[in-house]
Amino acid sequence: MFLVFILISILELQAKDYYFHPKSGNDNHLGNAIDKPLKTLSKVGDLNLQPGDRILLAAGEVFYGTLVLENCHGSFDRPILIDTYNAAGKAQHEKAKIDATGNLNGIHVQNSSFIRVRNLEITANGPSGNQSEGNMRVGILIDTKNIGKIENIHFENMDVHDIFYEAKGFTRDAAEVKSANGTQKYGWGIRLIASDPASSIENVLISNSKISNVSHTGIKLTGANQQNIRQIRITNNQIFQTGGPGIQMSGVKYVYVAENEVNYSGSDDDSRKWGRGSGLWTWTSSNVLIEKNRFLNANGPGDSAGAHIDFNCDNIVLQYNFSANNAGGFCEILGNNYNCAYRFNISVNDGHRIKGENGAFQEGKIFWLSGYQGEKKERKGPVNSYFYNNTIYVKSGQTSKIAIDNRSKGILIANNIFHLEGPVEMVSGDQYRPDESSNDSLERIFFENNLFLNDKNWPKDAMARDATPIMGSADFKNPGGLNAEDYIPLNKDLVRKGIEIPLLEGDFFGLTNGLQMVEDFLGNQIGDGVGLGAIMIMDR
């Protein structure tokens, strides 16, 4: 009897491979042999997948429809794998392609855990004759339905592109881009949705992938509250030409976003696109670290910063990011946000948008604190905003604009380099309507020890001014360039005058991972001698 039990256990541990080929396959095959593959993606649902099983799609071939994983569960050490296999006559590194045109999703993972998906290409460019009914088309959708927790889902080396709900030639009305997130049907790159507060999605990795040319957001996380999408990593991806934001998250906690490049978010090169979007933004989110990313060329009549912190967040930290040519600006922290920071970032020619030109309804700004927390709520905060050791360069001929809501409480601005060659203006915050004046005055401000190109680099009518400004040029290596090394300061003596960053008065928590940094933008160890800006001069 014991031997029978052992034999059954061994058989259960034997993982199975299932091969799929859209031309030579046959759905009457078992699919376990490479020369007798299955044919259509719909057969995946009949396989009763077990831990360690593999779904293998033929490289260089096109599969039509949706790959659905529903109620499939691998294990920690034996995940279910979906991958490309090297079909005869195909190049070694070709991906299998899923064309989900007319379907709602290219890959749909629902109520499933311990899943690995890699080396696939996904597209879904508009409707077909048998169009599926729904509100959105998604390259990859992960969601929950009437279940507690799903976890450990990894997507690696994916290519998701050309995701549109509407047919080519569809044109959105002019008012659509002014709505908060769009009201019509769109295509999305990768989405995580946990709409039931009792459900959760945890430990998801999206890495080394490319998401491009989608009509709305590239990667979007949507939780019902700040607890039910947790422990998410978004790393080493290329996200470009999205009609909306590159990356957006709502109702999440513990998210790490690192070493991604987001370029041309808010693209309007296709009339089906939304045409507005920051490289990244957070809303109702907690404990998010955003570091070592590049945010470039965000477009749109509103928002469209490199990366911004929308309202109802706490402990959002942006550090070591390179932000350039983003229409909406560089630093944006809205209302009811607590203990958020921009530090050791480089900003180049951000905030060039001019309100009233080309349909723009917001000014672009290099620095913006606003108490806006929704149309129906009184403005509040932000509270305890830390802005230090950033390098901000704006070219001659471009106006740099600054807006600070007087409801802001707790502001630290220190050790930054403001190299603003053009005019500098104070403007009203304008999130759907201008910030209204109040009898409040700014409270708990630490504004000291910043380097300004000249005494015109901060508006004279600003409520807050640097108590100990430093004047002069950092003398950058190659101002206007798009590499971090272009902003190495050559005026060594001037930029060595940094101070230690203190905890704001009345703030008993600071930032989750501390105020003091051990390395600069380029990875140089800072030691005891912090300087000005994002790059330290190390040859002391």
DSSP 3-state of 116: strand
Per the CB < 8 A criterion, the answer to whether 495 and 540 are in contact is: no
Q: Which DSSP letter does residue 7 get?
A: H
> Residue 88 burial by CB count (10 A; 0-12/13-18/19+): exposed, middle or buried?
exposed
> What does the H/E/C string look like for 215-281?
CCCCEEEEECCCCCEEEEEEECCEEECCCCCCEEEECCEEEEEECCEEECCCCCCCCCCCCCCCCEE
CB contact burial 481-498 (16+ within 10 A = b; e otherwise): eeebeebbbeeeebbeeb
Which segments in the chain show pLDDT lower than 70? 1-13, 89-92, 431-440, 538-540
Q: Closest Cα partner for 279 from 316, 332, 227, 315?
A: 332
- Strands in 424-426's sheet, in edge-to-edge order, are 67-70, 105-110, 136-143, 186-194, 219-223, 247-250, 280-283, 307-309, 329-333, 365-369, 400-404, 424-426
What is the token pair recorded at 358? 């080309």
Q: How far apart are CA 90 and CA 455, in angstroms?
A: 64
CB contact burial 297-310 (16+ within 10 A = b; e otherwise): bbbbbbbbbbbbbb
In the chain, DSSP finds a helix count (H) and a strand count (E) of 1, 42
CA distances from 105 to 101, 197, 204 (A): 9, 23, 18
What is the token pair recorded at 414? 């220190």
- Name residues whose C-beta falls within 8 Å of residue 273's C-beta, 6 or more positions apart in sequence: 215, 216, 242, 243, 244, 267
- Residue type for 320, please? Y
pLDDT for residue 46: 96
The neighbouring-strand residues paired with 280 are 247, 307
- Residue type for 451, please? L
79: left (phi over 0), alpha (psi -120 to 50) or beta: beta
> What does the H/E/C string look like for 432-455?
CEECCCCCCCCEEEEEECCEECCC
pLDDT for residue 90: 67
| Phi and psi torsions of 206, nearest 5° | -125, 110
Q: How far apart are CA 414 and CA 394, in angstroms?
A: 18
- How open is the CA angle 315-229-186, to the nearest 5 degrees? 105
Answer positive or negative: Cα dihedral of 234, 124, 296, 433.
negative
Per the CB < 8 A criterion, the answer to whether 121 and 159 are in contact is: yes
pTM tops 0.85, yes or no: yes
What is the token pair recorded at 318? 């942006």
Largest pairwise CA distance in the chain: 88
Per the CB < 8 A criterion, the answer to whether 446 and 477 are in contact is: no
What is the token pair recorded at 176? 């659509």
pLDDT for residue 529: 81
169: left (phi over 0), alpha (psi -120 to 50) or beta: left
- Residue type for 210, please? K
pLDDT for residue 429: 80
What is the token pair recorded at 462? 């600003």
pLDDT for residue 37: 97
